[in-house]
Structures are given as C-alpha cells and as structure tokens.
Amino acid sequence: MPVHTTPHLNFRGDAREALEFYSSVFGGQLMVITNEDAQSVETPDEAHQVKFGQVLGDNGFRIMAYDVPASVPYDRGNASFFVSIRGESTEEISGLWTRLTEGSTILDDLAPSFFSPAYGMLSDRFGVTWVLDVEVAYNPA
C-alpha cells in the first residue's frame, strides 16, 4: 500500500481561493469542505471557510489546505516551509512556472542551475514559497 507525503497549507480565510488557484495551475480534482458542511461553525463569519480542502491531480500532484479559525493562534513564520515541485522535463516545469507566477514575486528566475536544467523559486500571492526544478539523477562522484 503506497504512502503519500502531502503538503498541508494553513491559511487565514483564503484557503479556498488558494486551492482553486493551485487546481488551475496543476490540474486535478478540487475538494472543499467548509465549516458549515462539517457542522463545526465556531462563528457565523467563518461558516464558509475551509475545514478540509485538497487538490488531487492525475499527474501525482497533491496539496491540502484549511483556514485556521480565529480562535486559534496563527503565525506562518518567516520561510518556515517551501513546497517543492520536481518534474521530468524543462517543458513540464516551464508550463507550471508560467501559470504559478500569476501575482507572484519571483525569488529566483527559472533558469539552468548547477544541479538542474531548470530551477526557480517564487512566493505566490498567498505567501507560499514554491521551488520548481527538473529532477535529475544524483551522481555523487
């Protein structure tokens, strides 16, 4: 039975918008369950916030997210995580990069590097830092 590691992103009110954006970039099935759907509304203004959300792509892409309730302390911190996307070709990564850059701040342009034919880093409009590169076999010699 396979085990999958899936990034789980925490937001404060914009998890649905982020998941919809990631679904538009990477493709895949979007699932959103709100606090109201789960019958776990703490305050009326949080009824339509995300209790559980995910995007599952046919290409293996997976991401989860939810909205941290106002009653819970929330501090994302500074560079506390990156989401890494590794592809098999420059064309594949370039296509994802182009879509993901919408509203983003480019931290490292997508370009060849000493370890990959294409590598880039950006912070998207939701404050999530993404690292995209073409995966190559490691040669320790």
- Secondary structure class of 88 (helix, strand, coil): coil
- 141 pLDDT band (50/70/90 cuts)? low
Same domain, yes or no, for 61 and 91?
A: no
Boundary residue ending a domain (24, 40, 67)? 67
Q: Among 5, 4, 10, 6, which Cα is nearest to 128's?
A: 10
CATH of the domain at 99: 3.30.720.110
Give residue-wise pLDDT tens across range 94-136. 999 999 999 999 999 999 998 899 999 999 999 999 999 999 8
62 and 92 part of one domain: no
Burial label, 24 (beta-carbon count in 10 A; 0-12, 13-18, 19+): middle
Number of structural domains found in the chain: 2
Task: Look at residue 1 and tell me if it is in a domain.
Answer: no
Burial environment of residue 37 by CB neighbours within 10 A (0 to 12, 13 to 18, 19 or more): middle
Beta-carbon count within 10 A of 71 CB: 8
Domain of residue 105, residue span: 83-134
